[in-house]
Amino acid sequence: MSAGGQSSLPWMVLPRLDELEADLVQRRDHAAASGWKGEVEGIDLTSTFLRSKRVQTRRSVSLGMPALRHQSR
């Protein structure tokens, strides 16, 4: 992990986020079919955070990390 708690290899996180979202979709469908309104709301909230994390991760992958420049004296 780098400073700020962010992974130094964020692109490796994207496939895992996709897996988590697919699981959440299945869990939400089951909860909705079972009439578990509270569970659906919780899964929807988790899905919102997951999508936010995916956007944040893709943004950091697209921008990359700036290189540090050493100043000569």
3-class SS string, 5-52: HCCCCHHHCHHHHHHHHHHHHHHHHHHHHHCCHHHHHHHHHHHHHHHH
Give, as one character, the DSSP assignment of residue 5. G
| pLDDT greater at residue 63 or residue 51 | 51
**pLDDT band at 28, cuts 50/70/90?**
very high
| pLDDT greater at residue 57 or residue 18 | 18
**6 has pLDDT over 70:** no
Domain tally for the chain? 1
CA distance 39 to 51: 18
Inside any domain, residue 20: yes
DSSP H or E stretch at residue 61 = helix 37-63
**pLDDT band at 7, cuts 50/70/90?**
very low
Residue-number span of the structural domain to which 44 is assigned: 12-60
Which percentage of the chain shows pLDDT scores above 70?
Answer: 70
Inside any domain, residue 72: no
Give the pTM.
0.67
